[in-house]
Amino acid sequence: MSAYVIDSQLFGNQFSTPSLRAIFSDESTVQRWLDVEAALAKVQGEMGIIPVSAADEIRRKARVELIDLQALSAEMARTSHPIVPLLRAMKQVCEGDSGEYIHWGATTQDIIDTGTMLQIRDALVEIERDQQRLLQGVLGLARRHRDTTMVGRSHGQHALPITFGFKAAVWGDEIARNVERIAQMKERVLVGQFSGAVGTLAALGKDGLAVQEKLFDELGLRCPNIAWHVARDRISELVTTLAITTSTIGKIAHEIYCLQKTETAELEEPFETGKVGSSTMPHKRNPPTCETIVAISRIVRGTVPLALEASVTEHERDKIGLQTEREFISKVCCMTAAAVAKLCAVIEGLSVRQENMERNLYLQKGMLLSEAVMMKLGLVLGRQEAHEIVYRICMDAFESGCTLKEGLIADPQVATRISSQEIDAMLDPHAYVGLASRFVDRVAGSGD
C-alpha cells in the first residue's frame, strides 16, 4: 500500500517511471550516502589522513544490501537523525576499528546534499535523454507536415491559415530552449557539498580544500566555492527549470487535447483497441495520456513556490528547508520524467487527421481569409477604410449565414474593385499561409 501516487502500485506509472522510482528509492538514497562516505574514505586514505586499510574496508562494506533498512529506519526515528544510525550500522559491518574512520571531518548535511546531487544527476540523464527524443519527434512532425494547411486560432477562434508543421515547429523551438536550459542549469546545480559543521572545514585544517577537491573529482561533481548548506538557490533553480520544462510539455499536451475534441478532430493521441474511454459510454475515445501530462505540469509548476520558500534559511544550518526539500525533489524529478516520456509516446504515435484540418478551413465560409481581402482592398481604399468595409461584410455574413464571397460580390464598394476570380484566389486558404513553411525549415531543417 502506498500513500503517494509516485510509489503507488496502481498509479505509479502515471506520475513517474520505474527508473526514476529506482533512483529515488530508499535503497538508492542510502546507497548514495554510502557512495559519498566511500569516496571520502578513499580520498582520505590516499592522502594519509586515515589508514589505507580502514579506507579499503569502508569501501568494501559501503553497500546498501549490508544495511538493515528496517532497523535503520527505527534508529532514525529514535535518534531523530538520518546519518548517525547509518554510521553506527557501518561500524558494525566493518572489520576491526575501520568503522571509526568513516565520516572523517564531514557533517550530516554534506553526505545528504551530495547524495541528493548524485540522484539528481542520474535523474537528469533520464530526463535529458527523453527530452532529446521528444525534440527529434516534434521536429520530425514539423518536417512531415511542413505544408499541411490547417486553421490557425487566436483567443480560441479561427484566425488565419497556418500549417501544422508551423505549429509543431513552434513546439520544437521551445523544447530546444528547454534542452539548453537544463544543460546550462547542470553547470550551476550539480555541485557537491563537503564543508564540515558550519562550512569552514575546521576539522580537517590545512587538508580541507584538497580533500574537498579530490572528493568531488572522485564523484564527478563540481566543487563549490564555499559551503551552500543554507544557500539553496541550486535546488530552487532545479525545480524552476523542470517546471518550465513541464509547462512546455503540458502546453503541447493540452493543445493536442483541444484539437482532439469531437467538433475539431484534427489530432488524436495514440489509440489502440482495448483503450477504454468510459465505463458507461462505449463510443468514447478520450485523451487520457494528454490529460495526465497536463495534470503533472500543474503539480510541478505548483511546487515552485514551495522550492522558493525552502530557500529561505537561517544562520549556517537549517533543517527546516532540508525537510521541505525532501518532500519535493524526488516528486518533481519523477513527474518531469513521466511527463517527457508520455509526450514522447504521444508525439511518436500521434494521428494527424488531415481531412479534418482541410474541412475546418472552410467552416466559416471564407471568413478565415478576411485579412487577405482587407489587405487587397487596402491597396485601393487604404487599410482602415478596407477594414471597416470587410468588417461590416463579415458581420452581416456571420448573422445571415451567407459566404464571405457572396457578401463581397453583393457589396458595390468591393464588386467594382475586385473581380469574382480575384475573390476566389484570395479565399484560398492554402495560398495564405505566409512564410509558415520557411519558418519550419528554419527550426526543423528540410530533412534532406
Which positions are annotated as active-site residues?
Answer: 155, 278
Q: In which residue are the cell numbers 533543517 written?
A: 319
Residue 222 has phi, psi (to 5 degrees) of -75, 150
Please name which of 122, 134, 127 lies closest in space to residue 28, comparing C-alpha atoms: 122
Contact 339, 297 (CB under 8 A): yes
Cα–Cα distance between 57 and 51 in angstroms, integer?
10
By CB neighbour count within 10 A (0-12 exposed, 13-18 middle, 19+ buried), where does 154 fall?
exposed
Q: Is 428 left (phi over 0), alpha (psi -120 to 50) or beta?
A: beta
Which distant-in-sequence residues (6+ apart) come within 8 Å of 276 by Cβ? 284
Rama region for 81: left / alpha / beta (φ>0; ψ in -120 to 50; rest):
beta
Is residue 104 within 8 A of residue 40, CB to CB? The reply is yes
User: CA 246 to CA 79: how far, in whole Å?
Assistant: 38
Residue among 85, 171, 178 nearest 130 (CA): 178
Grid cell for residue 50: 586515515
DSSP three-state, residue 411: coil
- H helix count then E strand count, the chain: 19, 4
